[in-house]
A and B are shown apart, each in its own frame.
Chain A
Amino acid sequence: MEAMTLPDLRELIPEATISISALIAILVGALARNYSSARRIAPAVALIGLVAAVPLMFAVPHATTVPTARFEGVFVADAFAVCLKLLFSAVGVIATLVSVNFLEAERQANGEYYGLLLLAVVGMMLTASARDVVLLFLGLEVLSLSTYVLVGYLRKDPHSTESAIKYFLLSSFATALLLYGLSLLYGISGGTSYAAIRAAGAHLSGDLRLVAMLSVVFLTAGIGFKATLVPFHMYAPDVYQGAPGCVAAFLAVGPKLAAFGALIRLLVEAMPGFASEWVPLLTVVSILTMTIGNLVALSQSNVKRMLAYSSIAHAGYMLIGIVAAFTPGVTADVRSQALAAVVYYLVAYTFMKMGAFGILLSIKPGDRFAETLDDLRGLGRRRPLAAALLLVFLLSLIGIPLTAGFTAKFYVFSSAISAGCYTLAIAGILNAVVAATYYSRIAIALYAVEPGRGEPYAAGGISLKVALAASAIAILLLGIFPGRVLETALQSVRSLF
């Protein structure tokens, strides 16, 4: 009788905790008689689950301390995974805090909302820990399936339904491409684990090069959809615009973080042998992504769409770091610094993007939440605090020194230069200049002298304020004292090699 190898289940405790709180939240949604009785319980359950998962991540033995178990198993909780999961928990917490007021304003029953949000976070965590394409795929699907429902959560709002259908159809198509790429990869390596793929990639014969190229293209398409890489970015502005505001805040960050986390682990652990296929492709995709994202953002008057295009552009900046890390001939030091820069960028991006989307939920001119530039005009005098917070997020998105956005861009561009990717670095810097113009359009509108139409009034409750203030403080702290986080990112990335 052959022995059965079993995974170390203790490593799964954080995911299990969040899943259990998701189930409780869903149960609250089912048992609540009307929307008001559950509206405080479900978000509280969600917050407790997300926060409780954080210490539990450190309670498990890390794979870094057991080097013999390095490339075994389907699931791993090494320092890299834990680092990303901390960030994912933060994303979940901010998304929960941002959602409370929105759902109350829309008078939506919310148990299922928080349950699905938590399950989406679980999906993200699983992709960060996946060491087998089966688990990678399942994690991405748990994330996607939950977000489809969240996007269409306002059933009576045709915009919400429309963007849910759009998102669902296009995302399914991307998933099919991803699966095809994974099946080609399985064909090459004869296994689904990253170890098997790595072994096969180490000595690819000439016959298999073309298959490898095809699989890399399909993987880039499938993962690139989640990360909104050009040309798989088209859905983002439409979906973010139509989705409920709080879901847009999550959607602009969650799937992107999961995709980049998965991409990094996939490249380092499974596909270093495929670098000659990845690097040229990702170089072109990176330049296209930031350029198209920024150029189209210039002509937007809807702030939600503008932020969507800016999130596309930011995905391009993050790719610079990944390309720099896998450029042939870089030293191990440069490589881990480039990847750490990407991780740092992910952290900075989370706070500035969720903050910017969150601010829109605190301004409600008329009967809907702020969306256009006109809605924000003259906000500086009516709501000085909200305007100041938005200004912080915008400055960070531009990349002004002393904000997280600046340090993130600085690390990514300098890692590109030390890896010798000068084209990418120059393209990134030029793009950052272009991007500054449209962000400043928002900033100018904020402090415009002539008042806009309508009287903006406060729609934000205490939880939204806490989330926004915490994001702004995080951005400033990251910008002024970047060392600690960068060091953590560096250590987490080193655990991969």
Chain B
Amino acid sequence: MNEYLSVLVFLLLATLVGAALLVLSHYLGPRRRGGIKGTPVESGVDPIGDARIPFNVRFYLVGILFIVFDVEAVFLYVWAVIYKQYLNRGAFLLGEMALFIGILLFGYVYAWKKGALDWD
């Protein structure tokens, strides 16, 4: 557990520094309220209307694809860590991962062919 002490000290320091900066600027900095300063910045676009416009379902499809390959990346990491340890079983391990990725790749090809990746 003690190896995390440094992490916690780091977290504590980061929080303190962040909080200190905010508090200091709050008390030390000059403040002028009102006028154009109060309007939200929207990268040059007039901030008009509701921010909650319905998203297109395509975002969701991209999200699903992202999750699928995120999970794959996590499994790949584990796989890479133990691969060297079991070199005598290397071909078998390779086959396992190839099958796993193959099935997901199939899903990717399917999404591609169905036009789920097209944006128009």
- Given A30-B113, A30-B114, A31-B113, also A23-B106 (CB < 8 A): yes
- In the complex, B66 has a CB within 8 A of chain A: no
The answer to whether the Cβ of A4 comes within 8 Å of any Cβ in the partner chain is yes
Q: Is B39 among interface residues, defined by CB-CB distance under 8 A?
A: no
CB within 8 Å for A1 and B106 given contacts A30-B113, A31-B113: no
Q: Which residues of chain A (26-47) have a CB below 8 Å from chain B?
A: 26-27, 30-31
A69 within 8 A of B: no
Interface hits, A1-59 → B, CB 8 Å: 1, 4, 6, 23, 26-27, 30-31
**B79 at interface (Cβ–Cβ under 8 A)?**
no
Interface flag for B10 (CB, 8 Å): no
B85 interface contact, C-beta 8 A? yes
| Chain A residues in 8 Å Cβ range of B86 | 1, 4
Q: Tell me whether A6 and B110 are in contact (CB under 8 A).
A: no
A6 to B96, CA, bound (A): 11
Complex CA gap A6/B106 in Å reads 26
**Among B85, B103, B110, which residue has its beta carbon within 8 angstroms of that of A30?**
B110
Contacts of A27 in B (CB 8 A): 106, 109-110
Chief secondary structure at chain A's binding surface? helix
Chain A residues contacting B92 (CB-CB under 8 Å) are 6
Does B89 touch A at the CB level, under 8 Å?
yes
- In the complex, what residues of A have CB within 8 A of residue B114's CB? 30
> Interface size for chain B: under 10, 10 to 19, 20 to 34, or 35 or more residues?
10 to 19
User: Once the chains bind, are B89 and A4 in contact (CB under 8 Å)?
Assistant: yes
Within 8 A of A (CB), among B74-120: 85-86, 89, 92, 103, 106, 109-110, 113-114
Least CB distance, B24 to chain A, in whole angstroms: 46
**Residues in chain A near residue B106, CB distance under 8 A:** 23, 26-27
Query: How many angstroms from the CA of A27 to the CA of B108 in the assembled complex?
Result: 11
Nearest A residue to B95, CB-CB: A9
Q: How far is the CA of A4 from the CA of B113 in the complex (A)?
A: 39
CA distance A1 to B89 in the complex (A): 12
- Complexed CA–CA distance, A441 and B98 (Å): 57
| A23–B113 alpha-carbon span in the complex (Å) | 14
Inter-chain contacts of B103 with A (CB < 8 A): 23
Contacts of A6 in B (CB 8 A): 92
0 or 1 for each of B33-68: is its CB under 8 Å from A? (1 = yes):
000000000000000000000000000000000000
* B residues near A30, Cβ cutoff 8 Å: 109-110, 113-114
The docked-state distance in angstroms from the alpha carbon of A481 to that of B83 is 56
- What is the CA–CA distance of A52 and B103 in the complex, to the nearest angstrom? 21
CA distance A23 to B109 in the complex (A): 11
The reply to whether B110 and A26 form a contact with Cβ atoms under 8 Å apart is: yes
Enumerate chain B residues within 8 angstroms of A1, measured Cβ to Cβ.
85-86
Chain B hits for A26, CB < 8 A: 106, 110
A289 to B96, CA, bound (A): 44
Chain B residues, Cβ within 8 Å of A23: 103, 106
Cα–Cα, bound, A27→B102 (Å):
14
Residues from chain A with Cβ under 8 Å of B110 in the complex? 26-27, 30
Cα–Cα distance between A316 and B1 once the two chains are bound (Å): 52
Residue of A nearest to B102 (CB): A23
In the bound complex, how far is the Cα of B88 from the Cα of A4, in angstroms? Answer: 10
B104 to chain A minimum Cβ distance, whole angstroms, is 12
C-alpha spacing A426/B88, complex, angstroms: 62
Task: Give 17 CB contacts A-B under 8 Å.
Answer: A1-B85, A1-B86, A4-B86, A4-B89, A6-B92, A23-B103, A23-B106, A26-B106, A26-B110, A27-B106, A27-B109, A27-B110, A30-B109, A30-B110, A30-B113, A30-B114, A31-B113
The residues of A with any CB-CB pair to B shorter than 8 Å are: 1, 4, 6, 23, 26-27, 30-31
Closest 6 CB pairs of A and B: A30-B113, A30-B110, A30-B114, A23-B106, A4-B86, A4-B89
Given A4-B86, A23-B103, A26-B106; 14 other pairs, CB 8 A cutoff: A1-B85, A1-B86, A4-B89, A6-B92, A23-B106, A26-B110, A27-B106, A27-B109, A27-B110, A30-B109, A30-B110, A30-B113, A30-B114, A31-B113
